[in-house]
Amino acid sequence: MATEIRACTAEEMDAYHRIGSYVFANQDGFDEETTATAPDWTTCAFVDSEMVATMGTYPFTVRLNGAPVTMGGVTAVGTLPAWRRKGLLRQIMREGLGLCRDRGQSLAILYASMGAIYQRFGYGLATTMVTYQFDPRYAGFASPSEAAGSVRMETPEDAYPVMKRLYVEYATPRNMFIHRAVPLWQIGILRPRPKGTPVYAAVYRDAQGEPRGHVVYQTREDPALTSGPNQRMEVRDFIALDMEAYRALWEYIRRHDLVGQVVMQGCLGVDDPAPDLLLEPRMLNRRTQDGVWMRVVDVQKALAARPYGDRGELTISVPADDMCPWNVGSYLLETDGPTAEVSRRERPADLVVDSNALTSLLSGHNTATQLWRAGKLEAADAAAALRADRIFRTDHAPHCPNQF
């Protein structure tokens, strides 16, 4: 058998889509989700000229503690069952990470179908996904107030220019927000699910008529809701530039009297204020799970790419990395907070980390002290871990409202 790892050609993209659709049992819209994938963004395995395993990598720009950083958005990773357990995915991943490095993408991110698959390739948790599932009748604020402005429902087409501007303003200072190119809106936030069903948008404007927030959602009847209102609302996007907009959009959702269940999956982060605002926060049925997994492709560039929470210096050692062997070494991080310089230095390490732990540090998902206590990194002493906590602090909790 002859095995080849390479990108698809344009003529082979149908096979790429078919494999992904089969692997993820997604017959409704999988082609739409991957339609923005260019052939040269793919890395696939061919056995005797037959495509048997796939991976795509979107060229993303992501805010990392407020700074724009180029990252590879890994997607459509799948192997046909007859070709699993043969090391093909490892070959694809190693080749794909090398291509990310060549393209200047110092980090790679993905949503994992199974976290166990990707941890062995050096991915670590970068965000937590939060889900609310609640009856809007019981999700009122402890201190209700009337907004000075108003919420107006608009067609997604009419609202799009305003929503795009609101998202950019909201995302710019934040952490792990993807720059939304047009396809991310089209195949993600605004794509009807199932096909042919309506998508709704509503925009909040303050007393001066300035847009300050928006919500994107779909509604449908749900046969499982047998007592009371029987509609289900799925909220795709919830952006509020201030608390006035937040409260107004929340109350707009609650005014759907025939909705018995609201589901907000992934559109709000772990630092969302709803649990602190509601009269009975347990009504949110808040659930958390792994969100984005991230992989350091180029340690030196990744460490230098983001602003830091405090001035100082750290020596960080990466003793092994079988997927990205160029990362192995010791690095001196020197930062004044807004900017950082990173150089290779042979000196005693303050922190000894693997790729999994380093990604959680970089995103602010875990502190050095948390990782140290969990045995996920080695620290020279408690003072070194605390210094790393201050330096790696982020202004916002990491959150990615886009799935891909």
Look at residues 359, 333, 355 and name the one whose alpha carbon lies nearest to residue 344. 333
Beta strands in 183-337 (DSSP E): 200-205, 211-221, 231-240, 259-265, 287-290, 292-296, 312-318, 329-335
> Domain check: are 358 and 266 in the same one?
no
> Domain check: are 313 and 358 in the same one?
yes
Q: State the Cα–Cα distance between residues 314 and 222, nearest whole angstrom.
A: 54
> Domain check: are 88 and 134 in the same one?
no
Digit-coded pLDDT (tens) for 195-228: 899 999 999 999 999 999 999 999 999 998 888 8
Look at residues 390, 321, 270, 272 and name the one whose alpha carbon lies nearest to residue 124. 321
pLDDT of residue 174: 98
In a domain, 267, yes or no: yes
Q: State the Cα–Cα distance between residues 132 and 235, nearest whole angstrom.
A: 10
Q: Could you tell me if 291 and 400 are in contact, meaning their C-beta atoms sit under 8 angstroms apart?
A: yes
Q: Using the 8-state DSSP alphabet, how is residue 185 labeled?
A: I
Look at residues 335, 324, 313, 307 and name the one whose alpha carbon lies nearest to residue 380. 313
Helix (H) or strand (E) holding 160: helix 156-171
pLDDT of residue 28: 59
In a domain, 231, yes or no: yes
Which residue type does 57 have? T
Instruction: Indicate whether 76 pLDDT > 80.
Output: yes
> Domain check: are 135 and 283 in the same one?
yes
> Domain check: are 98 and 23 in the same one?
yes
Is the backbone peptide bond immediately before 183 cis, with ω within 30 degrees of 0?
no
pLDDT of residue 27: 60
Share of the chain above pLDDT 90, in %: 91
pLDDT of residue 31: 65
Examine the fold and report which residue of 269, 289, 309 is the final residue of a domain before the chain moves on.
Answer: 289
> Domain check: are 208 and 250 in the same one?
yes
Q: Which residue has the tokens 């707009």?
A: 252
> Domain check: are 343 and 263 in the same one?
no
Q: Which residue has the tokens 């959680």?
A: 360
pLDDT of residue 30: 64
**Mean pLDDT score of the chain:** 95
In a domain, 339, yes or no: yes
Q: State the Cα–Cα distance between residues 171 and 191, nearest whole angstrom.
A: 21
* Residue 35 pLDDT grade (very low, low, confident, very high; cuts 50, 70, 90): confident
Q: 371: Cβ–Cβ under 8 A, 6 or more apart, which residues?
A: 353, 357, 360, 361, 377
> Domain check: are 163 and 237 in the same one?
yes
Digit-coded pLDDT (tens) for 261-296: 999 999 999 999 999 999 999 999 999 999 999 999
What domain range is 357 assigned to? 298-391
Q: 146: Cβ–Cβ under 8 A, 6 or more apart, which residues?
A: none
> Domain check: are 140 and 217 in the same one?
yes
**What's the domain count of the chain?**
3
Digit-coded pLDDT (tens) for 237-268: 999 999 999 999 999 999 999 999 999 999 99
Instruction: Indicate whether 32 pLDDT > 80.
Output: no
In a domain, 117, yes or no: no
Q: Could you tell me if 58 and 37 are in contact, meaning their C-beta atoms sit under 8 angstroms apart?
A: yes
> Domain check: are 198 and 82 in the same one?
no
> Domain check: are 38 and 15 in the same one?
yes
In a domain, 401, yes or no: no
Mean pLDDT of the 60-65 span:
98
Digit-coded pLDDT (tens) for 161-184: 999 999 999 999 999 999 999 999
CATH number of the domain to which 377 belongs: 3.30.1050.10
Q: Would you say how long the chain is, in residues?
A: 404
Q: Which residue has the tokens 């291509």?
A: 99
> Domain check: are 219 and 335 in the same one?
no
